[in-house]
Amino acid sequence: MLRQTKYLSSRYNEPDGWSLSAYERDGGYKQAKRVLGGMTRDALIEDMKAANIRGRGGAGFAMGVKWSFMPWPPKPEKPHYLVINADEGEPGTFKDRTIMEKNPHSVVEGCIIGCYGIGAHTAYIYVRDELHLSKERLWGAINEAKAKGYLGKNPFGSDYAVEVFVHTGAGAYICGEETALLNSLEGKRGEPRLKPPFPAQAGAFGMPSTVNNLETIAIVPTALEMGGDAFSKLSELHNLKDGGSRLFGVSGHVNTPGVFEACVGLTLRELIYDLGGGVKGGKLLAVIPGGSSCPILRADDLVSAPNEKSPLFPWNGKSVLDVPLGVDTFRALGTMLGTCCAIVLSDQACPVLAMHNLMRFYRHESCGQCTPCREGSAWIFRIMDRIVAGQASIEELDRLSEIADNIMGNTICAFGEGTAMPALGFLKKFRREFEQYILTRGKSSPNRLTLPGHFAGAAE
């Protein structure tokens, strides 16, 4: 059900909505002050658990639970760190950027509360290099907060020191992976680490750390103000422990692409037609629900969940477009909610060319560490090249699946699966289209619409 909200985005259209005065006018920093003013860590974490904030970066892990993983009490020789992942680089995803540019103080306040929650005194916000305005706004907010005495040795007069720093990435997609991000933050090459140890045991600089997505930390003051349980109940999926409201993005073949804030429970149909203004140029063919790593869904797919225990049971037999966008519901659909930023393909687009383009991206962005991913992503693209050029045979589609299968679960980080899953998804959902394309050497391709943005030039 579509219920738009205005927690993070209330001042998005105000010219100075990002300033401290605007933020404080709307009640900003009251929660940080309350937390540092005497709230116990246990109470804070319990409230956050009750809020059921599922990580907004793609994996959907429960934030409160993640905070509780930190060793307690902190040892003096092992300082804790809060690390905010704002390396927003997933194709089709552009939600965190709006928060940094238009509501940076929510991030700073979230960092203060987060630091307290995990026993840290330092937070690093790792921002993708290209987002210059975001960095500027974050630094501006940090400096404003510091000038007001909200950061530093004695924030709000308390003795719980908090410092927040912005750290600039260097433009590698892999640095959005939390352990690669930690390496990059330490000045090392951005490559994922073996787990265990997990960041809560040995994260930034080898110290216990929590890595949260930027939107995740920005919503914390809101959840605290409402009370965790009340916040969670905004969501239609409260019972699935997927609470609150969040940002949804939509791009591709829609009339009004953009970022919208709404309660969890929104469906793809609502996102595309009510918020995205409907499909542009043709009929809806397919949707990549949450960033390019999520397997694609066809518009004509129906839910098959006859088992009562399935989170999808209530939507059994209905269109996938009517399933509420949730971490567990979309996992059950065989795809992922990801970053909740959907990419829409109309039937004027060619799925073969779309996959070709995506695979170029993954070939370029694999960190190069694990053989299956580095070599596999290259070979997938090379075979896609042959298909697009009309040189491939049908058998090579099986080769593609085999290589993609070889990547699945066979790499240090999830990037490998992030490459293989969309490839396997395209091959499964569009097998007929791929075969037609190969047999007709591309003449079957509609290719009357190229995709905007990241997808431009797919058939070069």
Partner 1 sequence: MITLTIDDRPITVAEGTTIWEAARTLAIEIPVLCHDPRLRPVGVCRMCVVDIGARTLVASCVRPCESGMKVVTGSEKVERQRRTLTELLMSDQPEVCPKESTTGDSVLHALARRYEATGASLPRGAGRPRDLSSKVIAVDHQACILCDRCVRGCDEIQGNDVISRSGKGYGTKIAFDLDAPMGASTCVSCGECMAVCPTGALVNKPVSGPIVPRRHLKQVDSVCPYCGVGCGLTYNVDVEQNKIAYVDGRESPVNHERLCVKGRYGFDYAQHPQRLTKPLIRRAEFYPKAALSPEVMGNQERGKGRRKTALVSYDDVMPAFREASWDEALELVASRLLAVKKEHGPGALAGFGSAKCSIEEAYLFQKLVRAAFGTNNVDHCTRLCHASSVAALLETIGSGAVTNTFAGIAESDVALFAGTNISANHPVAASFFKNAAARGTKLIFVDPRRPDIARHAWRYAQIRHGSDVAFYNAMMHVILREGLIDEAYVRDHTTGIEELRALVDRYPPALAAEICGVTAEMIVDIARAYGGAKAAITFWGMGISQHTHGTNNARCLISLCLLTGNSGRPGTGLHPLRGQNNVQGASDAGLIPMMYPDYQRVGDPAIREKFEKAWGLPLDPTPGLTVTEITTGALEGRIKGMYCLGENPFLSDPNVNKVRKALTRLDFLAVQDIFLTETAEFADVILPATSYLEKTGTYTNTDRRVQIGRPALAPPGDARLDWQIVAEIATRMGYPMLYEKVEDIFDEFTATTHEYQGLDYPILGATGRLWPAFDREAKDGEQILFGDAYPTADGRAKLVPCDFEAEKEPTSAEYPFVLNTGRLLEHWHTGTMTRRSYALDAISPGPFVEVHPDDLARLGITAGDLVSVSSRRGRIELPARRSTSVARGSVFIAFHFREAAANVLTLDAIDPIGKIPTFKLCAVNVEKAQA
Distance set, CA 404 to CA 67, 86, 353, 416, 417 (Å): 34, 29, 18, 9, 8
Q: Which of 136, 132, 127 is nearest to 185 (CA)?
A: 127
Structure tokens at 93: 């995803």
Q: Which of 230, 397, 408, 427 binds partner 1 (CB under 8 A)?
A: 408
Q: Which of 103, 267, 411, 445 binds partner 1 (CB under 8 A)?
A: 411
DSSP for 216-243 reads HHHTHHHHHHH-HHHHHTTSTTGGGT--
Question: Residue 446: is it exposed, middle or buried by C-beta count within 10 angstroms (0-12/13-18/19+)?
Answer: middle
Binding mask 412-441 for partner 1 (x = CB under 8 A): x-----------------------------
Sorted by sequence, the CB contacts under 8 Å of residue 263 that are 6+ apart come out as 1, 3, 5, 234, 235, 236, 244, 245
Return the number of the residue (254 or 420) whose C-beta is nearest partner 1: 420
Question: What is the closest distance, in whole angstroms, from the C-beta atom of residue 177 to partner 1 in the complex?
Answer: 12
Decide if residue 31 touches partner 1 (CB under 8 A).
no
Q: How many CB atoms lie within 10 A of CB 371?
A: 13
Q: Which of residues 388-407 bind partner 1 (CB under 8 A)?
A: 399, 402-403, 406
Phi-psi sector, 14: left (phi>0), alpha (psi -120 to 50), beta: beta
Q: Which of 280, 318, 386, 441 binds partner 1 (CB under 8 A)?
A: 386
Cα Dmax for the chain:
72
Q: Which of residues 166-185 bind partner 1 (CB under 8 A)?
A: 172, 174
Decide if residue 27 touches partner 1 (CB under 8 A).
no
Question: What is the closest distance, in whole angstroms, from the C-beta atom of residue 207 to partner 1 in the complex?
Answer: 15
Query: In angstroms, rounded to a whole number, what is the distance separating the alpha carbons of residues 141 and 20?
Result: 7
Which range in 40-48, 117-125, 141-149, 366-374 contacts partner 1 by CB under 8 A?
366-374
Structure tokens at 360: 């170029």
Amino acid at 313: F
Query: In angstroms, rounded to a whole number, what is the distance separating the alpha carbons of residues 131 and 386?
Result: 35
Q: Which of 13, 15, 194, 308 binds partner 1 (CB under 8 A)?
A: 194
What is the total count of residues that contact partner 1 (CB under 8 A)? 35
Decide if residue 292 touches partner 1 (CB under 8 A).
no
Which range in 64-72, 125-133, 238-246, 368-376 contacts partner 1 by CB under 8 A?
368-376
Which range in 49-57, 106-114, 369-377, 423-431 contacts partner 1 by CB under 8 A?
369-377
Decide if residue 130 touches partner 1 (CB under 8 A).
no
Residues near partner 1 (CB under 8 A): 172, 174, 189, 191, 194, 362-372, 374-379, 381-383, 386, 399, 402-403, 406, 408-412
